[in-house]
Structure 1
């Protein structure tokens, strides 16, 4: 299906370009969110008549996004979550959680603007991209910790969790005792 883009769409094209996309993507995303129009003769004429207004509105939004980007870029946010001893969270941190914490700090960010390829499921520091405008992207740092004190330690670069240390002695198991209980000695049955 051919559509006329009303704004820049990443990995697709610039404003005003006529592109060929799959019908489902056009109906469910581009047309539904007002990012494109069907490429009919009437819509092409309508777009050309409105082009100057659309470009002015796009430029205004971009300037607003750049203003927010200057304040938001590189900012760090702390999320307190419960986790197990190995640092794996009992839940996960999603784009909704990140949007809420950024909005509480005074920035107007929608969860659709936060780019998470997969949810955050462990403690630690994470760099997360935020797309404020199709042409303006910033990065924030998310510090996921169990307590504010632990978050401060992580921010200083300290390791809070020993993830790779697995020791049978920590579990209270002794190989010799386990073998004696099962009646085995040195690999032979008694």
Structure 2
């Protein structure tokens, strides 16, 4: 069924466009809401009478989009999230998250127009996100995801290093006492040294604990 858009309709077009839609969609939704008019000579004439106004509105949309693009690309958007030592977030940054952050800065963008890589960002770092504006206009927004608990993470790393330093002298005494790995198996020796490294052990334990916590956070956080 052919219709004339009476206003902008997402995924269909803009005011004044002629589109073909399913009859049920038109009769049950578009026509009752006044979003479209039936395609006929009378309604075509009505649209043509409004053509200059429609074009003026389109031009204003282009100008508005250019202004939003300039603001989005002027500086990175910084998003603070709780993270673990490995940089993985407790949760994720989605298009809804970015839309909310932009709205707080007075920039209104529909979340469905924000194209987040892999649908969500799950680690600290710098990312490039495409934002669809008007028509073919797009902005490339730089998003910097930072750890809101950075000081706590630094303190945790320092404690782990300190714990490792306290255990190291005992290892030195063992080595001086002549405890050495079997030289016939170099690969096993390397593996044993790594497994005995207290800092590695401490870090592995910390990461395992965080992985469990992050798994719980991921399950409770909507994508």
TM-score normalised by the shorter chain: which range applies? Answer: 0.5 to 0.7
Matched residue SS, 1:133: coil
Structure with greater strand percent: 1
Instruction: Indicate the residue corresponding to 1:49 in structure 2.
Output: 49
Matched residue SS, 1:121: strand
Q: Deviations over 1:12-40 (max 9, x none)?
A: 66764423245687689977998x62443
Does the aligned pair in 2 maintain the 1:125–1:143 contact within 8 Å? yes
Q: Deviations over 1:45-81 (max 9, x none)?
A: 3322222211111111211221232232252011111
Q: Which runs of 5+ in 2 are unaligned?
A: 152-190, 205-223
Instruction: Indicate the residue corresponding to 1:71 in structure 2.
Output: 71
Instruction: Indicate the residue corresponding to 2:81 in structure 1.
Output: 81
Instruction: Indicate the residue corresponding to 1:37 in structure 2.
Output: 36
Matched residue SS, 1:102: helix
Instruction: Indicate the residue corresponding to 1:132 in structure 2.
Output: 133
Q: Which one has the largest radius of gyration? A: 2
Greater CA deviation, 78-87 or 49-58? 78-87
Matched residue SS, 1:59: helix
Q: Which runs of 5+ in 1 are unaligned?
A: 151-166, 174-190
Does the aligned pair in 2 maintain the 1:74–1:139 contact within 8 Å? no
Within 5 Å, give how 1:110-149 maps onto structure 2. 110-116=110-116, 118-147=119-148
Report the Cα offset of residue 124 of structure 1.
Answer: 1.8
Aligned partners of 1:33 and 1:149: how far apart in 2? 51
Instruction: Indicate the residue corresponding to 1:158 in structure 2.
Output: none
Instruction: Indicate the residue corresponding to 2:178 in structure 1.
Output: none
| Number of matched pairs | 155
Instruction: Indicate the residue corresponding to 1:59 in structure 2.
Output: 59
Report the TM-score, using the length of structure 1 for normalisation.
Answer: 0.60
Q: Deviations over 1:80-124 (max 9, x none)?
A: 112334433221212222122223334343434423361222222
Report the TM-score, using the length of structure 2 for normalisation.
Answer: 0.52
